[in-house]
Amino acid sequence: MNAPILSRRNFTKGLGGLVLSFSLDPAELLAQAPAPGAPTRLPGSLNNNRSLQAWVRIGGDGNATVHTGKVELGQGVLTALWQIAVEELDLAPARVRIYSADTALSPDEGQTAGSQSIENSGTALRLACAEVRGMLVDIAAKRLAVPAETLTVTDGVIMTADRLKVTYAEAVADLDLNREATGKVPPKPVSTHKFVGQSVPRHDIPGKVTGRIAYVQDIFEAGMVHGRVVRPPRYGSTLESVDDAAVSKMPGVIKVVRDGSFFGVVAEREEQAVKAREALAKAAKWKLGPELPDPATIHTHLKSLPRKDDVLGVKQASMASGGRTLEATYTKPYLAHGSIGPSCAVATFLGGRMLVWTHSQGVYPLRNELVKALKIPAKDVRCMHVEGSGCYGQNGADDVALDAALLARAVPDKPVRLQWMRDDEFGWEPYGAAMSMSIKASLDADNKIADWQYELWSNTHSMRPESTDGTNVLAAWYMAEPQPHGAPKGIPQPAGGGDRNSIPLYDFPNQKVVHHFIPDMPIRVSALRTLGAYANVFAIESFMDEMAALAKADPVAFRLAHLKDPRAKAVIEKAAEMAGWKPGQAGSLARGRGIGFSKYKNLACYVACIADVEIDRASGKARATHVWAAVDSGLIINPDGLKNQIEGGIVQSASWTLYEQVRFDKRGIQSLDWASYPIMTMPDVPKVTIELINRPAERPLGAGEGSQGPTVAVIANAVAHATGKRLRDLPMDAARVKAALA
């Protein structure tokens, strides 16, 4: 199918107030970003983006445009942020437009990650829009010579009790937004909300289901050319030589580009670039990099590497000796992002300036990495977000942006579209780190946990752009002047990286958590949705079931007995009610049921899940048939959007848990396609039932990564309930389950 063609140099797509704008006009694209203000602490993302006009602008027609530095990844965040702006500005929905991350136009909000968009960007937009609305009301009050508190606002019309009025369009002449936000104007009370709390249809969906331009992969412009790159056989390899003479003469080839061990090709058509890439790969001679570890002993190998130990969450109390004790070790493999559309970028090099359309989750950090790699001043590099077809975490989005920029620099004035091949994506993206978790716990005389000792071993969970002192984009490491990445760092508590959710929310009188941080990365890793929380919740919640069995207690009652947080108890009780949980209900060889709970990062949403799992004894295949989830994320902005996120997280986690692992051997990565990296298919997707506990008096809590941990736990516990066998290694695929049954 042919890609949609952009018939104009500048086009806009919008629906219901949401506007995503892509432009290929250099004069417009290289506009300057808003100026920052002076350093004083402000709430949310206002703290680093203090100018009101960085967030909100009111036009001469009284309509508003708002900007966010957060990006749409399929989580529906732009719709939710737009709802917040509509609510606080008191304008009709069609009169408010929202623009996503762009280094020339939007506030710098770093990465869209960690389920923080509503908490940080939403807080900033709420306060900024409330302040702008307050300024407009003050202007009207002066003109009408009445107290501001006596005025009402409806769709941009400010009115007195006797119907004297000033419109936003009239007041804007006296409005100066080139000033620092105060963060002190109170937003509207929840009781007055008309749009926040409503299931507004997501604005990004129609384009995706009707074939309009929705993704960076869809962009096409007259005169656009296509690029492909050639990767080494494995990490750390060096290009010794390549005979590109024949490739340069192939049909459509414009240029073969080489910079050290980075090389690729630009061609007139995409299929010509693909054929040229194949020919270049055959013509290249490499000095191979180091072998990879033995996959059979990867967790032992990781534990043997140098590490930095951090002790967390220590509690100490007197404990009677002689309690029953249990120990267990759990493992998680390397996981790929499995993006449906391989990473893609479009870059143009015009007059010494670089323009990049990217699905990076952080356009400002990416721009700064491009500045280092390309040696171009920051003012001459602009990165604009366009949604990509699939990713939560760091896949190849940032890497492909540098690839495209390097090829674009070699063919000035031509827009270069570069989409990775499937083997590029699977073989070279940064994975979610392999992890190992060991737990030892003891019961007291009342069959409650009296002592909890937890250890985890993990590489970093963030090598995103600007997360270290080095350069964290792939091609930079292979250029003639290579720029190695800096030393990996852990993400500090309370959010954490590998140790995210490692400190139990349960109340234990004695506990200690040790995070063994491993800087050396034999396999490339970075951020994957939930970071370490998926593995830690898997281990903790599996072990809670094991301890409940040791205590001869019902798993739901056992958890409730160890919790003090009423909101945590509420989601567990709600999930049990939804699923019709029956204490003491026996499993069978074919069916089982499990419970899992977490408060994401111990800072964000509460989620409790119960799942039913069926086991095919002949094949060993386990399938989650129904998952019930109770969710508390505080004040709900968009109920349907929240449910979508929880449901999507459940499906993704079930796929990780039952199917996914990156396969490799000493020669290199072997998971290079969907056959060697299978994921859950549609027939195996469980039925999902979700209930939301709305708490309007509480602040909104991030929820995009809240359900993955509880889901792996419920499946693990349900498999154990069905089979009587505790599987502690992921994935719980058919071969592993069948071996346990045997």
pLDDT band at 17 (very low <50, low <70, confident <90, very high): very low
Which of 17-21, 433-437, 639-643, 687-691 comes out lowest in average pLDDT? Answer: 17-21
CA 630 – CA 646 distance, rounded (Å): 10
Percent of the chain with pLDDT over 90: 83
Q: Is residue 150 part of a domain?
A: yes
Contacts of 136 (CB under 8 A, 6+ apart): 58, 153, 158, 168, 171, 172, 175
Domain co-membership, 395 together with 457: no
Domain co-membership, 79 together with 179: yes
Domain co-membership, 720 together with 610: yes
Q: Is residue 346 part of a domain?
A: yes
Q: Is residue 310 part of a domain?
A: no
Domain co-membership, 513 together with 539: yes
CA 16 – CA 287 distance, rounded (Å): 55
Residue 321: the pLDDT is 59
- Rounded mean pLDDT of the chain? 92
Q: Which of 428, 444, 474 is the last residue of a domain?
A: 428
pLDDT, one tens digit per residue, over 48-96 is 889 999 999 999 999 999 999 999 888 888 999 999 999 999 999 999 9
Q: Which of 172, 200, 228 is the last residue of a domain?
A: 200
Q: Is residue 473 part of a domain?
A: no
Contacts of 89 (CB under 8 A, 6+ apart): 56, 64, 96, 129, 132, 133, 156
Domain co-membership, 96 together with 164: yes
Which of 102-106, 110-114, 439-443 comes out lowest in average pLDDT? Answer: 110-114
Q: Is residue 483 part of a domain?
A: no
At 220, which CATH number?
3.30.365.10
Q: Is residue 391 part of a domain?
A: yes
Domain co-membership, 276 together with 396: yes
pLDDT band at 309 (very low <50, low <70, confident <90, very high): very high
> 3-class DSSP state for residue 17?
coil
Domain co-membership, 570 together with 600: yes
pLDDT band at 30 (very low <50, low <70, confident <90, very high): very low
Domain co-membership, 539 together with 572: yes
What range does the domain containing 596 cover?
A: 435-461+497-741
pLDDT at 429 over 50: yes
> 3-class DSSP state for residue 243?
coil
Domain co-membership, 424 together with 439: no
Domain co-membership, 603 together with 711: yes
* Cα-to-chain-centroid distance, residue 629: 21
Q: Which of 200, 233, 259 is the last residue of a domain?
A: 200
The domain tally of the chain equals 3
pLDDT at 111 over 80: yes
Q: Is residue 317 part of a domain?
A: no
Domain co-membership, 586 together with 727: yes
pLDDT at 391 over 90: no
Residue 37: the pLDDT is 45
Q: For the residues 520-543, what does the mean pLDDT come to?
A: 97
pLDDT, one tens digit per residue, over 139-185 is 999 999 999 999 999 999 999 999 999 999 999 999 999 999 999 99
pLDDT, one tens digit per residue, over 588-631 is 878 999 999 999 999 999 999 999 999 999 999 999 999 999 99
Q: For the residues 688-694, what does the mean pLDDT come to?
A: 97
Q: Beta-carbon neighbour count of residue 665 at 10 Å?
A: 13
Q: Is residue 18 part of a domain?
A: yes
pLDDT, one tens digit per residue, over 703-723 is 989 999 999 999 999 999 999
Domain co-membership, 182 together with 253: no
